[in-house]
Amino acid sequence: MKIIIATAVATVLGATVAMAGATKPQDVAFEDGAVAVSVSGTAGDAAVGREVFANRRLGNCLACHVNSDMPELSFHGEVGPPLDGAADRWSEAELRGLVANSKQTFEDTIMPGFYIDTGYFRPLDDFAGIPILNAQQVEDVVAYLLTLKE
Amino acid sequence: MGMYLLKTTAFAAGLALMAGSVAQADEGATLVINEELTIATTAKAPAHLENIDEITSGWIYRTKETQALQMDDFDNPAFVFVDIALDLWNEVDGTEGKSCASCHTDGPEEFAGLTATMPRIDKDGNLETLTEVVNRERVEKMGAKPWKYSKTNMASMTALIGLQSRGMPVNVAIDGAAAPFWERGKELYYTRVGQLDISCSNCHEDNYGVMIRADHLSQGQINGFPTYRLKNAKMNTTHGRFKGCMKNIRAVPYKEGGEEFKAIELYLASRGNGLTVETPSVRN
């Protein structure tokens, strides 16, 4: 079990290290909730981001948000606001900030911070000290959200 | 408006995929069991609740099919386990050569009303759960080994005992010696945990009644526990359910039977003061 966890952590670390110029979660600079610069140092891929958005083990954004760009998937959640037209309402920097850590914008929100690795308590071993999404996945989701226009 | 149309369409698509095996939850339905026992599935919130006016049983958030299973004891799969418990009730175990029935000669009916007041403060001033009471009796009176906290025999026995209170109003004490345990449970209820950094209240107080993907969020009431879940086809204890919830938010669960879960159980039970004991209920 320990070996499996160690391998998983090593894989995640390896992926992070491999991304030149990635910003560590604790070093992300928020300004009024927004993050101006790509946290991975590279551009996001909207097509990959679409998958991360829907994947229950990754973003699972659909668990809480209606998204009419995904009519092929059933059971859109209702906990958060619908994301139709998100790119009309938020700038790229604001969307990046909302994905990375929405509590910087909405203090008491239920929405998890997807790019934080501290500040939460009693995490399961497999998730301790790592963010829900890695830097590139954050950028991929942001790139995808920027396609949601009405 | 467009959003609601979309949701309806998405939901209809989901139904089609599942070949019509689910129906929308009927939040206005009335729960009558065996055509004679009417259960209050909504009630005025107890005075200590600051953010909710009305409390609601988890039954109302379930699909019509799931709701129906609880309306007749012959359809309710939990009664398989009630029968198991009746066998255990009469089974001699331990060094004293006794069964439950040896002392409790009037049968499980002796415990009518007990579950409605659990957990409670014991004679030493500690918070005790029904599970602990059963195990204390097994050890002290029967000379038998305690059962594991959430295994089938214990979950079945607490379901049998809970059934004796079915139809009675939940009424746990939260004052006096119970107060510090209740405060602890309340504190834990509002504390965010896990990688997802979510508290009980985030889902079950702030968002009950809405869908989280395919699941309809309830108030997290425990008036129907132990409950038969279709998901795992067995009796589920409160502490077992808390554990599952914590794993879902990627948190290390507290220990079953430990002080945290006991305090949470007391606090949750008190949030249901005024609802009706439904044990053994059926959930998804």
Domain positions in chain A: 2-145
Are β-strands B54-56 and B42-44 bridged in parallel, bridged antiparallel, or unpaired? antiparallel
Distance CA B284, CA B216 (A): 10
Residues in B touching A82 (Cβ below 8 Å): 3, 6
CA torsion angle for A12, A14, A17, A19 (degrees, to 10)? -80
Note whether B197 contacts A113, CB cutoff 8 Å: yes
The number of C-beta contacts closer than 8 angstroms across A and B is: 101
Identify the CATH homologous superfamily for domain A2-145. Answer: Cytochrome c-like domain (1.10.760.10)
- What's the pLDDT score for residue A95? 98
Residue (of B142, B170, B191, B187) closest to B44 by Cα position:
B170
Residue (of B41, B64, B77, B131) closest to B280 by Cα position:
B77
DSSP-derived secondary structure for A77-123: --SS---TTHHHHS-HHHHHHHHHHGGGTSTT-SSPPTT--SS-SSB
Give domain limits for chain B. 13-72+168-283, 78-163
Q: How much is the pTM?
A: 0.89
Q: CA dist B253 to A69, A113, B233, B245, B248, Å?
A: 36, 21, 22, 8, 10
Give B234→chain A minimum CA distance, Å. Answer: 25
Contact B77, B233 (CB under 8 A): yes
Of A68, A74, A124, the CB nearest to B251: A124
Residues in B touching A76 (Cβ below 8 Å): 6-7, 10, 211, 213
Taking only the tens place, the pLDDT of each residue in B144-171 is 999 999 999 999 999 999 999 999 999 9
CATH 1.10.10.10 fits B78-163, yes or no: no
Output the tens digit of pLDDT for each of chain B's 284 residues. Answer: 333 333 333 333 333 333 333 456 777 789 999 999 999 999 999 999 999 999 999 999 999 999 999 999 999 999 999 999 999 999 999 999 999 999 999 999 999 999 999 999 999 999 999 999 999 999 999 999 999 999 999 999 999 999 999 999 999 999 999 999 999 999 999 999 999 999 999 999 999 999 999 999 999 999 999 999 999 999 999 999 999 999 999 999 999 999 999 999 999 999 999 999 999 999 99
Residues in B touching A113 (Cβ below 8 Å): 197
Note whether B194 contacts A121, CB cutoff 8 Å: yes
For tokens 């560590």, what's the residue?
A: A24
Eight-class DSSP state of B275: B
Confirm or reject contact between A129 and chain B (CB < 8 A).
no
Question: B42 - beta bridge partners?
Answer: B56
CATH 1.10.760.10 fits B13-72+168-283, yes or no: yes
What is the sign, positive or negative, of the torsion defined by CA atoms of B64, B66, B69, B71? negative
Shortest CA distance from B217: residue in chain A? A79
Chain centre distance of CA A81 = 16
- Whether B200 sits among the annotated catalytic residues: the reply is no
The ipTM is 0.86
